[in-house]
Structure 1
Amino acid sequence: MKMAKMLGFATGLLIATTPTLAEAPEGEIGYAKGSLGYDALVAGDNQTALAQLEAADGVSANDPARFINLGQAYLRIGRTGDAAKMFMAAINSNRSFDLILADGTVINSREAAKLALHKINNTLAAR
């Protein structure tokens, strides 16, 4: 089963589990370095992450891990609608696999996308 390390929806979890981050391996697992924009997302460099993710260098354009990280990058720059589309694409993808989030949590890609989309919906509903 393919595993990918990614930021996923873990933005809120990063704050609560910062000590765990030091124990987690760095970068993408099973992908070329930078292909999922992981390091750029962790560093808060959203423009670099977007460039890496939009290029999809060595990653299928329909890869759920790419969709989820692209959704995170879009969300961070205020493109909420595009972020939701990426999370929906990951949910509806004909592929799914386990992902390792930035906090070390292992979760199925569909579940990670559903949680991220749920977070968007809750944020919008609270406005």
Structure 2
Amino acid sequence: MKTAKMLGIAAGFFMTVTPVLAEAPEGEIGYAKGALGYDALVAGDVHTAIAQLEAADGVSAKDPAWLINLGQAYKRTGRTGEAARMFTAAMNSNRSFDLVLADGTVINSRKAAKVALHRMNNMLAAR
């Protein structure tokens, strides 16, 4: 059974679909500020987001929210192989919970990771 844990995560996850994020939640919910790189991702500062995510204290390397955001940051910098590994790890994680995306959508972490991986693969195939 999944745990209903709400997070501000995956900034820009649906940015190509919803470019204006007027109702976006602010920051990480239930995490130390910056632990998920949320604000940096929303601001488009991918390098800061990666630094925050890679240095996040107290966040498990198996945390689906952390994996998805790091995957998003890697994808934006062209590190698609690493992004795919992050998304796959989030999909296969023994932990699963609901996430609040930057556009306010609530989605299960496994589904969010699957959608992110699928979109990235489609983007790469279209090149």
| TM-score normalised according to structure 1 size | 0.91
Between 1:56-65 and 1:67-76, the stretch displaced more is 56-65
Once residues 44 and 62 of structure 1 are traced to their aligned partners in structure 2, the CA distance between those partners, rounded to angstroms, is 24
Between 1:60-69 and 1:49-58, the stretch displaced more is 49-58
Once residues 26 and 64 of structure 1 are traced to their aligned partners in structure 2, the CA distance between those partners, rounded to angstroms, is 19
Amino acid across the alignment from 2:52: Q
Contact 1:8 1:68 in 2 (8 A): no
Aligned counterpart, 1:55:
55
Query: Structure 1 residue 5 and structure 2 residue 8: aligned?
Result: yes
* Larger fraction in helix: 1
Aligned counterpart, 2:104:
104
Per-residue CA deviation, residues 27-84 of structure 1 (Å, 9 max, x unaligned), is: 0111111100000000111111001111122211110000000000000111011001
1:22 offset after TM fit, Å? 2.9
Between 1:69-78 and 1:52-61, the stretch displaced more is 52-61
Once residues 12 and 58 of structure 2 are traced to their aligned partners in structure 1, the CA distance between those partners, rounded to angstroms, is 19
Amino acid across the alignment from 2:15: T
Query: Structure 1 residue 43 and structure 2 residue 43: aligned?
Result: yes
SS in 1 for 2:18: helix
The unaligned stretches of length 5 or more in structure 1 are none
Query: Structure 1 residue 75 and structure 2 residue 75: aligned?
Result: yes
Query: Structure 1 residue 24 and structure 2 residue 27: aligned?
Result: no
Aligned counterpart, 1:14:
18
1:126 offset after TM fit, Å? 1.3
Between 1:3-12 and 1:44-53, the stretch displaced more is 3-12
Amino acid across the alignment from 1:5: G
User: After TM superposition, where is structure 1 displaced by more than 4 Å over at least 4 residues in a row?
Assistant: none
The unaligned stretches of length 5 or more in structure 2 are none
Contact 1:71 1:86 in 2 (8 A): yes
1:125 offset after TM fit, Å? 1.5
